[in-house]
Amino acid sequence: MVQQKALLLPEKFGKLVVGERAIPKVEPGWVLVKIEATALNPVDWKIVKYGVFVEQFPAVLGTDAAGIIEEVGEGVTNVVKGDRVLFQGWYQSSDRTTFQQFSVVPAEFVAKVPSKISLDQAASIPLTLATAALGLYGKQPTKGSAGLSPPWEEAGRGKYEGKPILVLGGSSSVGQFAIQLAALSGFSPIIATASASNASYLKSIGVSHFIDRHTPTAELLVEVRSIIGSNPLEIVYDAVALPDTQKAGYELLSKGGQIVVTLNPVVDEETAAKEGKKFVHVFGNVNDPNQRETGKSLYSKLSGLLEDGSLEPNRVEVLPNGLEGIVGGLKRLEDDSISGIKLVARPQETA
């Protein structure tokens, strides 16, 4: 079988090493993508350090990628060989992950990349957009979604005009997409917390009121309440989801409201229900059967949203040395030394 270079995790709690594995075969309805750029996410270092999510080894990690269609399976009509696309990987099979030079993906979950966006930028989109979009919007009943009407569909565009939203961790990769989607939904005001250095950028993508993330909780509560006045705060997106931010968002939430979190909720479901509030713990992957319909809807519109500027990719930093550069990049993520940008590697540049 034809081989490719991949960043391999040989065993649970092992060390990542560059090696070789077979290029996967294409099935009907699927495509093979030559990966030109893959983005790093915190979940990748957590898999290595804590031994979670992955049980079959050697394994390939990574779920964010952009590249060129190398081959299309039988029945595929939405893309052809040579198209520039982005897609989200899936940890259930190393044939579908992205820290390698080729990967297979269902054709319904690839989106063409407009010429004005680089493949490095495009690789920053899939997981973080999915985490923001699937947490807020839903086309099928699931506990991991607030169930709002998607703004990429006509019925949802501007639907929540005049309703406030709070995004905690606005400069995070997920937070940036939560802000942009909130703007498309018509939410106003859009309040976000982040480091002061990211304030001007966040305002450029839709934030109306910025609060420094170092603001003490008591002051944060006062400031948010002064912004929204008597309007109920029915939706909070917590992209940080540490205990302090969850508790602050939960306290600000109005009765009947929902707080979307990216980590385990700090308040149990029964307690929250008694207080008339709800935690939504999002699982941000369009390949998840529980999210599939919403994911298909999003990907059918994604190219257009990127083309017309409704959504903008994260700012990126390209790592050197191809797949080998991922190891150092993940250490920087673990050390929490990255703010406001997405780290991207180029698998084809692996020595």
Supply the CATH number for residue 317's domain.
3.90.180.10
**Chain center to CA of 44:** 13
Residues 272 and 134 occupy one common structural domain: yes
Residue 301: inside a domain: no
Residue 299: inside a domain: no
Asked whether 203 and 183 are in contact (CB, 8 A), the reply is no
Mean pLDDT computed over 211-236 = 97
Residues 153 and 94 occupy one common structural domain: no
Q: What is the pLDDT of residue 141?
A: 66
Say yes or no to pLDDT of 221 above 80: yes
218: domain CATH number? 3.40.50.720
* C-beta neighbour count of 214 within 10 angstroms: 9
Residues 106 and 136 occupy one common structural domain: no
pLDDT band of residue 167 (cuts 50, 70, 90) is: very high
Asked whether 54 and 61 are in contact (CB, 8 A), the reply is yes
Residue 291: inside a domain: no
What percentage of the chain reaches a pLDDT higher than 90?
96
Amino acid present at 198: N
Mean pLDDT computed over 281-307 = 95
Residues 99 and 41 occupy one common structural domain: yes
CA distance 165 to 21: 46
CA distance 121 to 61: 19
Residue 340: inside a domain: yes
What percentage of the chain reaches a pLDDT higher than 70?
99
Residues 76 and 111 occupy one common structural domain: yes
Is the Cα dihedral 196, 197, 199, 205 positive or negative? negative
Angle value at C-alpha 51, between 176 and 43, nearest 5 degrees: 5
Residues 133 and 253 occupy one common structural domain: yes
Residue written as token pair 């910025």: 210
CA distance 113 to 136: 24
Helix, strand, coil tally for the chain in percent (to 5): 35, 25, 40
Say yes or no to pLDDT of 140 above 80: no
Residue 289: inside a domain: no
Largest CA distance in the chain: 65
Mean pLDDT computed over 30-46 = 97
State the virtual CA torsion across 86, 314, 137, 305 in degrees, nearest 10: -60
Residue 146: inside a domain: yes
* C-beta neighbour count of 315 within 10 angstroms: 15
End-to-end C-alpha distance for the chain, whole angstroms: 21
Q: What is the pLDDT of residue 263?
A: 93
Mean pLDDT computed over 97-124 = 98
Q: What is the span of the domain harbouring residue 147?
A: 128-281
Residue, of 1 and 315, whose pLDDT is higher: 315
Can you read off the two tokens belonging to residue 221? Answer: 């509560």
Mean pLDDT computed over 286-314 = 96
* C-beta neighbour count of 156 within 10 angstroms: 17
Say yes or no to pLDDT of 216 above 80: yes
Q: What is the pLDDT of residue 340?
A: 80
CA distance 327 to 15: 9
CA distance 308 to 323: 32
* C-beta neighbour count of 101 within 10 angstroms: 26
Q: What is the pLDDT of residue 145?
A: 95
Residue 229: inside a domain: yes
Report the helix count and the strand count for the chain, using DSSP H and E: 10, 16
Say yes or no to pLDDT of 154 above 70: yes
CA distance 206 to 170: 11
Residue 189: strand, helix, or coil: coil
Comparing CA positions, the residue from 133, 72, 135 lying closest to residue 262 is 135
**Chain-wide mean pLDDT for the chain?**
96
Mean pLDDT computed over 263-284 = 95
DSSP 242: -
Mean pLDDT computed over 174-179 = 96
Residue written as token pair 């495509």: 31
CA distance 39 to 131: 15
Residues 276 and 323 occupy one common structural domain: no
CA distance 166 to 235: 7
Q: What is the pLDDT of residue 339?
A: 81
CA distance 64 to 66: 7
Say yes or no to pLDDT of 1 above 90: no
Q: What number of CA atoms fall less than 13 Å from residue 65's CA on the CB side?
A: 31
CA distance 218 to 199: 21
Q: For the chain, how many structural domains are there in total?
A: 2
Alpha helices in 205-309 (DSSP H): 217-228, 243-252, 269-274, 292-307
